[in-house]
Amino acid sequence: MEVIRAQAMGMCFGVKDALSATRSVADPSATTIWGELVHNDAVGRELGARGFLQRDEGNRDSLPATPQVLITAHGVADRERQRLIEAGHRLVDTTCPLVARAHDAARQFALEGRHVVVLGKRDHVEVRGLVGDLPSWSVVGHLADVERWPSARLGVLCQTTMQECEAQKLLDAIACANPQADIAFRDTICEPTRQRVRALRDLIAMADVVVVVGGRHSNNTRQLALTVARGGRRAIHVESANELDPRDFAACRVVGLTAGTSTQDDAIDAVERALRAMPSASGVPRHAG
């Protein structure tokens, strides 16, 4: 069995920068991470062991007890940032610049008097931040969410981890349902997400099965697994090497390996080692692309 790594995978620069910012925090026990820094349980446990407090994404109504608050790479609405500052908290803001770019697009659309439509997952923390300051918005995650909105001007943008083909499908449906509207579109999908999807397509063309490493709550990891299934290959989603079952690979000739943007390199390497150690693995390293 041959194991092929995707050419682009794993942690993006936005997540790496956010993690590295935690290393510069002098007193972790005086800092609350405002949500999950990354959707990866192993990273959450490590931050907890270092003394950071972490507030669940769905439980941010009450103010934190610590003097310092770390905003994650997913970003928050300006309104939320202001609420924390006015309550006397110091902020360490690790919002990814590509998430900030999506906020700029939403703000600009609102200034132009457009009803803002975000293509993405309604409950995702990034999307909640994106719409948090807007006077008029909708979130479209599926074709069933598309409506004929009464607004004459629509502004459509994407959650940064949206897949391009999905976004295009939804955009076409919005145009079809709103022939009366002037529709402006800003493609705010981030480049690391695009690169990972492209690399995954190459992998699907070569592998019998694709192992996707990443947190169960990670949106982009789940999207990668979905892309594998849509490409007609079996996806095996694991968080760590010990979840691998050799029986899943008994009939495999080539196994592809990819990982979500919140997955640490050592978790990917451990999965690769475990795959290569399986009885039928050839151990011959090769690269996709």
The helix/strand count (H/E) of the chain reads as 9, 13
Between 1 and 18, whose beta carbon lies closer to ligand SF4?
Answer: 18
Closest separation in Å from C-beta 156 to ligand SF4: 18
Dmax (CA) of the chain: 62
CB of 90 to ligand SF4, least distance (A): 22
**Least gap, CB of 177 to ligand SF4 (angstroms):** 28
Give the separation between CA 198 and CA 221, rounded to whole angstroms: 14
Is 126 annotated as catalytic? Answer: yes
d(CA 231, CA 209): 11
Nearer to ligand SF4, 194 or 276 (CB): 194
**How far apart are alpha carbons 33 and 96 in whole angstroms?**
15
User: Which has the closest alpha carbon to 263: 210, 231, 220?
Assistant: 220
**Identity of the residue, 158 or 211, whose beta carbon is nearer to ligand SF4 in the bound complex:** 158
Tell me the closest approach of the beta carbon of residue 161 to ligand SF4, in angstroms.
5
Q: Of the candidates 169, 221, 173, which has an alpha carbon nearest to the alpha carbon of residue 197? A: 221
Q: Provide, rounded to whole angstroms, the least separation between the CB of residue 125 and ligand SF4.
A: 11
Residue number of the CB closest to ligand SF4 reads 14
Of 75 and 241, nearer to ligand SF4 (C-beta) is 75
Query: Residue 98 or 228: which CB sits closer to ligand SF4?
Result: 98
Select which of 2, 36, 126, 239 is catalytic: 126
Distance of alpha carbon 7 from alpha carbon 287, whole angstroms: 7
Edge-first strand order for the sheet with 90-93 is 53-55, 31-34, 68-71, 90-93
Report residue 259: phi and psi, to 5°: -155, 155
The nearest distance, CB 159 to ligand SF4, in angstroms, is 9
Binding interface with ligand SF4 (CB under 6 A): 12-15, 73, 96, 98-99, 160-161, 190, 192-193, 261
Torsion of CA 127, 267, 264, 211, to 10 degrees: -50
86, with CB counted inside 10 A (0-12, 13-18, 19+), is exposed
Indicate which residues carry an active-site annotation.
126
